[in-house]
Amino acid sequence: MEVSRLPVSASTRGKLISAGYTSFSSLSNFSPSELAIAVKIPEKEADEILKLATHDGKSDNTKGTQAVVSGGQTAWDMLKEDEGLRCITTSCAALDKILGGGINCKEVTEIGGVPGIGKTQLGIQLAINVQIPHEHGGLAAKAIYIDTEGSFMVERVLQIAAACLSEYYELPRRGSNANQPNRQPQDLLENIYYFRVCSYTEQIAAINYLGKFIKEHKEVKIVIVDSITFHFRQDFENMALRTRLLSELALKLMKVANEFKLAVVLLNQVTTKYSEGSVHLTLALGDSWSHASTNRIILHWNANERYAYIDKSPTLQSSSAPYAVTGKGIRDSVSDHKRAKLM
Amino acid sequence: MAPLKSLEPDYPIIDSNFQQFCASHHIFSVEDFLLHDIYALELSTKQHFDSKRLEEGISVVRTIMEGLHQPWLNGMELLQKAQGNKHGISTGYERIDVLLEGGLFQGNLVELVGPSSSGKTQLCLKVAANVAVNNLGSVTFFDTGNSFSPKRIDKLLDQSSEPAKIKTEEVRRRVMDKIVCQSVFDIYVLFDLLHQLKSTLKPVTGSSVQMLIVDSISSLVTPILGSGAHGHALMVSLGFLLKELAYEHNLSVLVTNHMVGAEGGHLKPALGESWKNVPDMRLHVSRDCKSNICSMSILRHPYITAGKAVMFSLK
């Protein structure tokens, strides 16, 4: 029945079907007021239904030109478009290398790891690095940080911002004019939009609101959610509802990433999984959530060093790279020899 | 079906008299006609003074109904139709082509099921690249997870059988123009697109194929499944729409699905028992941890034994 695929409420749909209107052609000859009387629904709803039905009828009649479906792009056009997109560096050369340059725009990247491995640090580093100006290969854009755990420490962000500024001011800039005023770390903080959510409904609301917010603030090029798991892990009675809400969340984030061509970074926690007698760590939120991201990076310890491992990616090979969390933020890890001496 | 009164302009015999007669038998739409006993209805017209007109009206409704069902086919016609689709579409992996006795065929809905990061998207991209580079036809790719990567398609074209042929940019552009990708994040949008496809598809000329890939269908269906029966109905009607597109318009349709936990710690395909019987072929893909070797086994196939498996490697 064609009417069953209209995005209307169940009761309206039931009324339409019991009145005998099951296809779009049967709705075509009616005006909103006639339909409202025949089906006993408010006129505004009848108007909406007719708009949806006739829009579908119109698109049925258009002749396909180059693309068979409207809104589709050929692979060639997409390739050319993607060549112009830049990556967001993580400030760690080894990590950037395995990521193919950094965190890609238009993709949802999930980063998970045990507590204390540096997820929030990486999130903060990315929020600062997205603001690197064009001359140094950055995007000169703003960031949105959705904090669910309360681990966003402003003093630490200031510290990382100061380190980032000092590094980039040391490099000689091509074509720079000496009269440019020095940027303060506080200026970098101004470009991070911070949302604090305290329950899963607030989290869903914040993500629903993202589309509207980004339309008004087009300079945003990264959305970081730290962490996406927190409110969904404790005390969720209905697992089926949780799966539905999470899949819907995932689709919305994918849509935002695609529509506004920005990067979405989701930080996740780990849980233990018991399979075939052995116990190992996997990312939280279950098997169905593992399909919610385009890329997945797992952070883990390996003999006193922090490693990042690419678990899932459509373009990148599975590989791992070491990194370190320093006073300045995320940086390359120094060799073992040196680390042993410092310890 | 519309209520009877909307048929009046096209078929003047279904006038208000006829409608009143039907209403007296609780018949308000053509569907109600199907549920009613037509013989009994015809007998009851004899008692009316206007019986001839009413009988005409009933036969007109009958012809409307007969115009709406699928034509009957006999076994020979079915066999001829199947033999017309003899050539399989190569997937780009020789071992998989051998396993499937030719590759993917037109008129079929094939489902790839597997845990996360098992190689399903890579397989879809490879099939698309193969169809494009060997000039077999065109590909429509519906992507729900931003995982369609034109860069990867570019690399796969380099790995194809004759890389020298596609060195020039002009040729490469023509090859990549055969793959059209559309991002879909909503099941209702997918329905609209599929209906658009149905009405705009021109009949295939000669040996040109049309492929439709949906990666992944489970991420569109999971948000609506479970909250009442409507989600279930939408999922099944989506499945039937894809099968209709495959069978009637001679497309080859490939969809991907993910896996969820079952009792005993095993994994089972998502979307439940009702979806299990919808695809014509179900293939299970899995990857050995941290290596490029994947294995594919047949879960369901019309004529090949289930359980047959093969290993292949992703480059």
* Burial bucket for residue B177 (CB in 10 Å: 0-12, 13-18, 19+): middle
Weakest mean pLDDT among A170-179, B33-42, B112-121, B239-248 = A170-179
For residue B117, give the nearest of A22, A29, A311 by CB distance: A311
User: What pLDDT does A175 receive?
Assistant: 47
Superfamily of domain A77-337: P-loop containing nucleotide triphosphate hydrolases (3.40.50.300)
Residue A5 to residue B188, Cβ atoms within 8 A: yes
**Which of the 8 DSSP states describes residue A85?**
P
3-state helix/strand/coil string of chain B: CCEHHHHCCCCCCCCHHHHHHHHHCCCCEHHHHHHCCHHHHHHHHCCCCCHHHHHHHHHHHHHHHHCCCCCCCCHHHHHHHHHHCCCCECCCCHHHHHHCCCCECCCCEEEEECCCCCCHHHHHHHHHHHHHHCCCEEEEEEECCCCCCHHHHHHHHHCCCCHHHHCCHHHHHHHHCCEEEEECCCHHHHHHHHHHHHHHCCCCCCCCEEEEEEECCHHHHCCCCECEHHHHHHHHHHHHHHHHHHHHCCCEEEEEECEEECHHHCEEECCHHHHHCCCCEEEEEEECCCCCEEEEEEEECCCCCCCCEEEEECC
For position A126, what pLDDT does the model report? 93
pLDDT at position B64 over 70: yes
User: SS3 for A299?
Assistant: strand
Average pLDDT, chain B: 83
- The reply to whether B40 and B188 lie within a common domain is no
Which range, A296-310, B3-17, B44-58, B258-272, has the best average confidence (pLDDT)? A296-310
CA distance A318 to chain B (A): 7
End position of a domain, from candidates B43, B66, B89: B66
Query: Is the Cβ pair B265, A290 closer than 8 Å?
Result: no
Residue written as token pair 């529509």: A259
Is residue B305 located within the same domain as residue B184?
yes
Residues B34 and B174 in one domain: no
B240 touches chain A (CB under 8 A): no
Long-range contacts of B71-74 (CB under 8 A, 24+ apart): none
Please report whether residue B300 resides in a domain. Answer: yes
CB-based contact A182:A205 (threshold 8 Å) = no
Q: What tens digit of pLDDT does each residue of A197-231 get? A: 999 999 999 999 998 999 999 999 999 998 888 88
Residue A57, min C-alpha distance to chain B (Å): 9
Long-range contact set of residues A231-239: C-beta below 8 Å, sequence gap at least 24: A231/A148, A231/A197, A231/A198, A231/A199, A231/A200, A231/A203, A232/A200, A232/A285, A233/A269, A233/A284, A233/A285, A236/A200
Query: In the beta sheet, which residues pair with residue A274?
Result: A279
| Residue B201 confidence (pLDDT) above 80 | no
**Last-in-domain residue among B66, B91, B115:** B66
Please state the pTM of the whole predicted model: 0.81
Q: How far apart are CA B20 and CA A183, in angstroms?
A: 83
From CA A204, how far away is CA A218, in angstroms rounded? 21
What are φ and ψ of residue B238, in 5° steps?
A: -65, -45
Contacts of B313 (CB under 8 A, 6+ apart): B292, B293, B294
Same domain, B152 and B61: no
**pLDDT at B86 (0 to 100):** 64
Question: Judging by DSSP bridges, how do beta strands A142-147 and A103-104 pair with one another?
Answer: unpaired
Nearest CA in chain B to A246: B223
Which of B101, B73, B20 is closest to B304 using CA atoms? Answer: B101
| Helix, coil or strand: residue A145 | strand
**CA dist., res. A107 & res. A249, Å (int):** 15
pLDDT tens digit string along A283-302?
Answer: 888 878 888 888 899 998 88
Residues B281, B182, single domain; the answer is yes
Sort strands A278-283 and A295-302 into parallel, antiparallel or unpaired. Answer: unpaired
Three-point CA angle A279, A245, B184, nearest 5°: 105
ipTM score: 0.79
Nearest chain B CA: its distance from A301 CA (Å): 17
Contact B182 A64 (CB under 8 A): no
Q: Find residue B262's DSSP bridge partners.
A: none
For the record, the structure tokens of B176 come out as 């990549």
Distance from C-alpha of A285 to C-alpha of A271, rounded to nearest angstrom:
9
Does B159 contact A at CB distance below 8 Å? no
In a domain, B273, yes or no: yes
pLDDT in tens, A88-113: 998 899 999 999 889 988 899 999 99
pLDDT at B32: 76
Task: Give the number of other CB atoms < 10 A from CB of residue B279.
Answer: 26
A280 — contact with chain B (CB < 8 Å)?
no
pLDDT in tens, A326-337: 888 888 887 643
Closest residue in A to B191 (Cα–Cα) = A5
- Rounded CA-CA distance A7/A48 in Å is 10
Q: Which of residues 137-176 of A touch B (CB under 8 A)?
A: none
| A218: region left, alpha or beta (phi > 0 left; psi from -120 to 50 alpha) | alpha
**Nearest residue on chain A to B148, alpha-carbon basis:** A314
How many beta carbons lie within 10 A of that of residue B114, not counting itself?
Answer: 23
Q: What are phi and psi of A30, to 5 degrees?
A: -110, 150
Determine the average pLDDT of the residues in B130-153: 87
Rounded CA-CA distance A189/B41 in Å is: 79
Q: Which two tokens stand for residue A17?
A: 């079907």
Range of the domain at B221: 77-313
Task: With respect to residue B72, please indicate whether it lies within any of the assigned structural domains.
Answer: no
**Residue B81 and residue B40 share a domain:** no
Q: Which residues pair with B8 in a beta bridge?
A: none
Q: Do B189 and B215 belong together in one domain? A: yes
Q: Which residues contact B165 (CB under 8 A, 6 or more apart)?
A: B171
Per-residue confidence (pLDDT) for residue A282, from 0 to 100: 80
Domain boundary among B25, B47, B66: B66
Q: Which residues of A touch B267 (CB under 8 A)?
A: 287
In three-state secondary structure terms, A19 is: coil
Relative to beta strand B259-261, strand B252-257 is: unpaired
Q: Are residues B174 and B264 in the same domain?
A: yes
Strands (E), A51-181: 73-74, 87-88, 103-104, 108-113, 142-147
Torsion of CA A156, A161, A162, A167, to 10 degrees: 130
Q: Which helix (H) or strand (E) holds A53?
A: helix A43-61
CATH for B96 = 3.40.50.300
Q: What percent of chain A has pLDDT over 70?
A: 85
Distance CA A19, CA A39 (A): 6
B113 and B258 in contact (C-beta within 8 Å)? yes
Tell me, yes or no, if A9 comes closer than 8 A to chain B by beta carbon. Answer: no
Place of tokens 């604090």: A196
Give me the residue spans of the domains in chain A: 3-70, 77-337
Confidence band, pLDDT 50/70/90 cuts, at residue A58: low
Task: Say if A3-70 and A77-337 have the same CATH topology.
Answer: no
Mean pLDDT of all residues belonging to chain A: 82
CATH annotation of A3-70: 1.10.150.20
Closest Cβ–Cβ partner in B176, B196, B290 for A79: B176
The answer to whether residues B34 and B100 belong to one domain is: no
Neighbours of A19 (CB within 10 A): 17
* pLDDT score of A1 more than 50: yes
Instruction: Say if the Cβ atoms of B200 and A63 lie within 8 Å.
Output: yes
**Number of domains composing chain B:** 2
For residue A55, what pLDDT band results from cuts at 50, 70 and 90? low
Question: Are residues B100 and B19 part of one domain?
Answer: no
